[in-house]
Structure 1
């Protein structure tokens, strides 16, 4: 497509011509382009088709009962006799015309009333959607804020990173712990956890001066960065296999991963 045709199509003259808003000079120019260039002809046909589609979408169909009601009213009036007997007074003819006009006005009013009701419902839908959208935006902003806070913690020079790999009992186990002793925060990223029977679970512990303190249960559904309790002066982190729901005392014989923090 050459630059001349592109410039013409971008000028908006074709749309104005289709809507009957061009001047005589513009009309002559548009019709000349349509006849000379197949690209313009195709664009014109496409615009015409789209206009027809839009017109059909926005067309308003009259209520089904309106026409029948008007015809019934006309049937009740002595229209035939008016054409035969010309002795009826003129005011009677005017009254018939006024009745028809009133019926047409009532039908039109009914159509507009339905349109207004439909628009009111559509407006309410739009308001509800805007409210939901604002709610979603607020939730997304909160999530984004949480992610940014986590990233700031990870990028903090004071944050120490510990990669915890599984032993022979759980070779595919891998988690990453992020501990910041200055801000006293701890996070863990569950990278992979081998499958366990339904009656068992993984539990992470902090070793503190000869005792094990639970930091929570690890689940493969938690494959994301999550906060865990910070333990001052923890010597090590340990992951064990425990009964489903966790245990109050660590089963050190079922240890599957361990890393020293000192």
Structure 2
């Protein structure tokens, strides 16, 4: 591999290209390298595969929509027609007109007051929804950052991949473990787990010199790439069938082991 390709692969352009975080110039450069160099094409395919693994464990829910607030149009006020049957004095007509004007003014003021109160409440709802939307955006950014970190970890040359298959007791069992002894990280992808009776569960263990350390419960309903406790100097990984809730005293039921793999 020439120095030019090696420099390109050592950068984060491919990862950012997959996440849509490149400029137009960077996009053109990445697509050119993918088309021209088989090594880059192969690295791109591997990244796509890893991204698919990570993506299924991070379902990003859509954000809440902000409601549009529409003020109802005020109906035209009815016209009051006065048909006097008597001849009122001029001052009396003025007092009646003034009373009617006062009533109309009071009614209009009340309508504007209630309308402003309603608008204030609706504005408060909009403000709260905007804050909720900002929280959703922040959560999505955190998820994206987590996806990026997991992708980089999966693509790290120091990360070892272990495919754990079930024995005769659980032929359909399949999980994939990713362990990086340099970064001291451990993840597992639950691909498939045969169904167990309700009173039983699968438990994964790290085997050390002379003892077993529980790494947690595996569940078919929790099929996603997730972190496991990193165990220094682990010799192997084992999966056993335990009573519901798992063994709490770090005593693995080795007679009920359904899968194991030796670590490098």
Name the structure 2 match of 1:221. Answer: 221
Task: Tell me which of the two structures has the higher relative contact order, counting C-alpha pairs closer than 8 angstroms and 6 or more residues apart.
Answer: 2
Aligned equivalents of 1:225, 1:84: Cα separation in 2:
91
Alpha-carbon RMSD across the aligned residues, in angstroms, is 2.2
Name the structure 1 match of 2:136. Answer: 136
Shift of residue 129 of structure 1?
Answer: 0.7
Q: What is the DSSP-based 3-state SS (H/G/I as helix, E as strand, rest coil) of the residue aligned with 2:202?
A: strand
Name the structure 2 match of 1:33. Answer: none
Mark the runs of 5 or more structure 2 residues left unpaired by the alignment.
1-69
Shift of residue 161 of structure 1?
Answer: 0.6
Shift of residue 118 of structure 1?
Answer: 1.1
* Equivalent pairs, count: 192
Does 2:74 match 1:60?
yes
Does 2:233 match 1:233?
yes
Aligned equivalents of 2:198, 2:188: Cα separation in 1:
23
1:117-151 CA-to-partner distances (Å, cap 9, x unmatched) read 11111101101111111122222222222222111
Name the structure 2 match of 1:260. Answer: 262
Q: What is the DSSP-based 3-state SS (H/G/I as helix, E as strand, rest coil) of the residue aligned with 1:186?
A: strand
Shift of residue 57 of structure 1?
Answer: 7.5
Name the structure 2 match of 1:97. Answer: 97
Shift of residue 251 of structure 1?
Answer: 1.1
Name the structure 2 match of 1:244. Answer: 244
Name the structure 1 match of 2:11. Answer: none
Structure 2 matches for 1:16-165, cutoff 5 A?
58-61=72-75, 80=84, 83-85=85-87, 88-165=88-165
Aligned equivalents of 2:132, 2:160: Cα separation in 1:
40
Aligned equivalents of 1:196, 1:159: Cα separation in 2:
31
Shift of residue 154 of structure 1?
Answer: 0.7
Normalising to structure 1: TM-score of the pair?
Answer: 0.68
Q: Of the two, which has the highest radius of gyration?
A: 1
Q: What is the DSSP-based 3-state SS (H/G/I as helix, E as strand, rest coil) of the residue aligned with 1:240?
A: strand
Name the structure 1 match of 2:186. Answer: 186
1:30-61 CA-to-partner distances (Å, cap 9, x unmatched) read xxxxxxxxxxxxxxxxxxxxxxxxxx973224
Aligned equivalents of 2:259, 2:86: Cα separation in 1:
109
Shift of residue 221 of structure 1?
Answer: 2.2
Aligned equivalents of 1:131, 1:57: Cα separation in 2:
23
Q: What is the DSSP-based 3-state SS (H/G/I as helix, E as strand, rest coil) of the residue aligned with 1:58?
A: coil
Aligned equivalents of 1:214, 1:117: Cα separation in 2:
60
Aligned equivalents of 1:61, 1:253: Cα separation in 2:
81
Aligned equivalents of 1:257, 1:172: Cα separation in 2:
11
Name the structure 1 match of 2:50. Answer: none
Normalising to structure 2: TM-score of the pair?
Answer: 0.67
1:132-183 CA-to-partner distances (Å, cap 9, x unmatched) read 1112222222222222211111111111111111111111111110000111
